Amino acid sequence: MDYKNVAESAALYDTVVVCKNMYGKESSIGGWFTTFAGFSANEKHTFFKSRTEGSSHLAYCNMQSADNVDFVFKVFSFGVRFFAPVNPDCLNYQILSPSQYAENMPVWWMFDLPKFCGIDFRVQQDVIIENTCLATPSGYGPRGGGGAQPATDTRVGNANQIPWKAVTGTIGEPSIDNRFPLPNPIEIPRNTPIEANVYVSEYGRYVLRQLAGPESTVMLNENQVSTPAYADYLSMPNRYGIQVSLYGYREVQQRGQYFAAGAIQSGRE
Amino acid sequence: MGYMNVKEKWFYYDTVMVSPWVGTLSHPIPGWYSSFSNLATSDAITFFNSRNKAIGLAYNNQDARDQLPFALVAETVSIGFFGPSAASLYGTPCPCVRGVKGRVDFLSAWWEDEVPQHTSAVFKVNQDERLKTNCAMLPASYGPTGFAQGQGDTSTLHGNSASVNAGGMGTPHLKYRWEFSADGIGIPRRATMSVEIRFTEWVKGWMATLWGPGSIEFATSPSPAYVAVPSVFMVQCMITGRREVQQRGEYHA
């Protein structure tokens, strides 16, 4: 009996992260950065070439092999997403409101940097896509939200004047059909190397290498929320990144079966 | 055996940039401008006949400046106006001192939402005019979509409750682009193709009078310190369609 494959919908994705703190094994992940300046030193950031699910985290990469596709894969769409924290970077570990926020960082990374980046996608040596990151939408990600004004009680110190501002969004409508289309699917054989490259333009790197950060989100601790006063604050590092994804169908052996050539099977015809 | 072509989805694009940063380049890029007032002096802005991908894949993916290197069936066209989403613009150099600073916040929205309504576009294949219309009818249908909530830093010092502009013409979904006829427009290999836009005198009058583009303020190291970088305004023309290339992994020449 010949082997039998079935098609399953599947995604392949990989992520570059920029964050001042790396946790555990993250510190050894290739192509991740702790500063914007470090990120800007590379003109090209490569995906599907060095990270795996094991070396990073399933949230960021689901490659089993660092540079090969483990299964026959028919790719129907391609997307790139620039993500940024919803809260601006705070430059201090206390909230010395006002004036200690870098409000432009998330906005610029999420909405402006894609204007200054190109992307290509290659299967072996064939260039399948060359495009601007603006017009290669991921089809998923955050969308709009609500609005609010910070607490305006000015009786106690600065704590109630914290300049909260949340920014949400992405490039393109986050709807699953809004991705770079490949109507004639790219058929990638098993064990084939693929790669995607994000090219940051000279202007993009010129801006990034001057930036502080990424820094942290700083907020009141529980006691301060109850009784505003200067004291300790909570500080969590903000995380920026770029995620490249392929959507399609992978061909795998029928679940619960084993039809590989030469397999010993009971009850076979 | 004769050659065998296959059709591949392909996006083809070219960009005009307006930014003081352009003036700092040691090798000027044709058709890019360092100020709105410089842009106002141009009668027509053209795409697909003066630049190639050497200017950066972010802006252009043409192999040849003025010819198509492959046969292309053009299916859609767009002319997208993109201003900085970090939309609070300061004069240059930025007065990075503590104290109240002036700034202009609306230019991104003006550029993205208002200018296209007062701009015309002509799409040509060789010398044939295939489309003549208003730029507002050719929205990019890609680009930022998002939202900012909260008033931000109201100190009038650094931060200044910076404005966010994440919108633009049309819905940023690739299915909402201007489509040519159902079969598209067949463009032979090595044909010339161009898009030309023209601003009305009203727009040119504005731009001739405007300062800038201004600068965006960022935190820099060692923090807390601030730096102003020139902002970028762009017009990006994009043709999507199918290109004809040799079957991958084959050689049928």
Domain extents for chain A? 5-144+166-215+238-253
- Listed by number, the residues of chain B in 57-86 with a beta carbon closer than 8 Å to a beta carbon of chain A are 57-59, 61, 80, 82, 84-86
Distance CA A103, CA B218 (A): 8
Name which of A35, A103, A108 to mutate to probe chain B: the one with the most chain B Cβ atoms within 10 A of its Cβ. A103
Of the listed ranges A54-58, A226-230, B153-157, the one predicted with least confidence:
B153-157
B172: CB partners within 8 A, 6+ apart: A137, A171, A172, A173, A178, B140, B141, B142, B143, B144, B145
**Higher pLDDT, residue A199 or B164:** A199
What is the Cα–Cα distance from A174 to B149, expressed in whole angstroms? Answer: 19
**Could you report the per-residue pLDDT of A145-187, keeping only the tens digit for each?**
555 555 554 444 444 445 567 788 889 999 999 999 998 899 9
Contact indicator for A93, A216 with CB cutoff of 8 Å: yes
User: Residue A107: in which H helix or E strand, if any?
Assistant: helix A104-107
Residue A248: name the closest of A144, A154, A123, A145 by CA: A123
Contact state of B218 with A102 under an 8 Å Cβ cutoff: yes
Considering only residues A152 and B104, tell me which one the structure prediction assigns the higher pLDDT: B104
Q: Which of A5-14, A72-81, A124-133, B145-154 has the lowest mean pLDDT?
A: B145-154
3-class state of residue A132 by DSSP: strand
**Are A171 and B172 within 8 A, CB to CB?**
yes
B29 in contact with A, Cβ within 8 Å: no
DSSP class of A155: S
**Residue B252 falls inside a structural domain:** no
Residue B94: inside a domain: yes
pLDDT value at residue A259: 60
Whole-model pTM: value is 0.87
**Residue B224 forms part of a structural domain:** yes
Asked if A265 and A256 touch (Cβ cutoff 8 Å), the reply is: no
User: What is the nearest CA distance from A1 to chain B, expressed in angstroms?
Assistant: 30
Nearest-CB residue to B224 (from A91, A108, A169): A91
Is the residue at B210 inside a domain? yes
ipTM confidence score: 0.84
Domain annotation covers residue B50: yes
Give the pLDDT confidence score for residue A100 in this predicted structure. Answer: 65
Please give the residue range of the domain that contains residue B236.
Answer: 5-246
